[in-house]
Amino acid sequence: MTATDLDACKRTAALKAVEYVRDGMVLGLGTGSTAKHLLMALGVKVRNGMKLRGVPTSQETADLAAQSGIALLQTDEPWVIDLAIDGADQADPAFNLIKGGGGALLKEKIVAAAAKQFIVMVDYTKQVSVLGGSFPLPVEIVPFGWRSTVRQIENVTQSRALVRERGRAPFRTETGNMIVDVHLAAIEHPRQMETALNQIPGVVETGLFVGRTDLLIVGKPAGAEVLTASRT
């Protein structure tokens, strides 16, 4: 599978997600490579007369949405988001996710939590039997006392935690925080892990999205597969 083929799978998932968008909706707009395909497809809908407003999860997404003709809500407005659509770095069989590879996990989770429905688009390589392993868990932390926070994260997870860097400096999110990537062999109990990490002072949010996904759209070479979450 080449990078071009994989990108085609992402586009397939994004185009299927667009089918759930209706005129007049307020959309939560995700961040990442699959979300870029989504925004391009939405731009076609807008140019054909569809009225949409959006809440972007990053400045990159805000810029792409504006280019696509999607009116953006201000961040200090009380949102009523009809549908949030985003990608993921991993998705397990229960539709629990790891997100945050692009560093936008805090805004992404705020938007997902505010939405009436949350659709996640992935290419088939992002489906895993258990979270972790090949992809680290991002954890967003405040800069103050970060070394102590990292030590506590390692104590809780019993795993190695590395501060994400850009160049030779710590990576900073759009909200001014840092990202710690926790390398876990497997996350057998994502809800318990999310709760334990969020109890550490200095942790802002984790990249675990547990029990939030309503629909998982998987892009495959043969087309898109739509999976519905079971709430039982």
The average pLDDT across 215-229 equals: 95
Residue 4: CB atoms within 10 Å: 7
- Read off the pLDDT of residues 120-137 as tens digits, 9 standing for 90 and up: 999 999 999 999 999 999
> 79 and 14 share a domain?
yes
Q: Which tens digit of pLDDT belongs to each residue from 137-186? A: 999 999 999 999 999 999 999 999 999 999 889 999 999 999 999 999 99
- Whole-number pLDDT of residue 224: 97
Residue 2's pLDDT band (boundaries 50, 70, 90)?
confident
Confidence of residue 214 (pLDDT cuts 50, 70, 90): very high
174 with 107: CB under 8 angstroms? yes
pLDDT of amino acid 231: 54
- Lookup result for tokens 């991993």: 90
Task: Check pLDDT > 70 for residue 29.
Answer: yes
Task: Say yes or no: 121 and 162 in one domain.
Answer: no
Which CATH number characterizes residue 195's domain?
3.30.70.260
In three-state form (DSSP H/G/I as H, E/B as E, the rest C), the secondary structure along 56-97 is ECCHHHHHHHHHCCCEECCCCCCCCECEEEEECCEECCCCCE
For the annotated catalytic residues, the residue numbers are 108
Q: At 83, which CATH number?
A: 3.40.50.1360
Q: How many residues are given for the chain?
A: 232
The contacts of residue 109 (CB under 8 Å, 6+ apart) are: 99, 205, 209
Q: Say yes or no: 51 and 15 in one domain.
A: yes
- Structural domain includes residue 228: no
pTM of the prediction?
0.95
Q: pLDDT-derived band of residue 44, with 50, 70 and 90 as boundaries?
A: very high
194-220 burial by CB neighbour count: b if 16+ within 10 A, else e? Answer: beebeebebbbbbbbbbebbbbbbbbe
Same domain, 68 and 11: yes
Tell me what pLDDT residue 232 has. Answer: 47
Together in a domain, 107 and 10? yes
pLDDT tens column, 51-73: 999 999 999 999 999 999 999 99
CB 204 within 8 A of CB 125: no
**Shared-domain flag, residues 106 and 18:** yes
Q: Contact 214/230 with Cβ under 8 angstroms? A: no
| Parent domain of 176 | 137-201
**What average pLDDT does the segment 192-205 reach?**
98
| Claim to verify: residue 170 and residue 121 sit in the same structural domain | no
Domain count of the fold of the chain = 2
The answer to whether position 230 is within a domain reads no
Which residues are CB-contacts of 110 (< 8 A; sequence separation ≥ 6)? none
Strands (E), 93-230: 97-98, 118-123, 137-141, 160-163, 165-166, 169-170, 178-183, 203-206, 208-209, 215-220, 223-228
Residue 74 inside a domain? The answer is yes
